[in-house]
Amino acid sequence: MRELEIENEKRLVELSALRSQINLHFIYNVLESIRMKSVIKGERETATVIKYLSRLLRRLVNQSDNLIPVSEELEVIQEYAKIEEYRYGKELTINIEVDDAILNTLIP
């Protein structure tokens, strides 16, 4: 009986994970549709920010490694900064300085 309960719980967890993937796939598709309509309308700045948001979401969801290189984290930070600069306009300026010697260093 206990084995059946464990198997049912396992199936529920797998189903929940599958639903999450489907929902995320839907969100990515919607973001891409909005981005492409923005491109067609000539709203390049909006399209670019939507691209950054989609990448950020994908990275957060697909993150499997506990450690990543500083260079990869820096890409995430730069894209996030561009989203924030879009939100706040000229009120916000972000400067990032990183020593090239640490770009391959792994961080959590």
pLDDT in tens, 4-29: 888 888 888 877 777 776 777 888 88
Same domain, 43 and 1: yes
Band of the pLDDT at 80, cuts 50, 70, 90? very high
Is residue 1 located within the same domain as residue 45? yes
Give the structural domain span for 13: 1-64
Based on the domain organization, do 48 and 101 belong to the same domain?
no
In this structure, the answer to whether residues 42 and 88 fall within a common structural domain is no
For residues 24 and 74, state if they share a domain: no
Do 72 and 97 reside in the same domain of the chain?
yes
If asked whether residues 57 and 85 sit together in one domain, one would say: no
Are residues 93 and 59 part of one domain? no
Q: Match 């670019």 to its residue by tokens.
A: 48
Burial level of 74, CB count in 10 A (0-12/13-18/19+)?
Answer: middle
Region 42-59 average pLDDT: 92
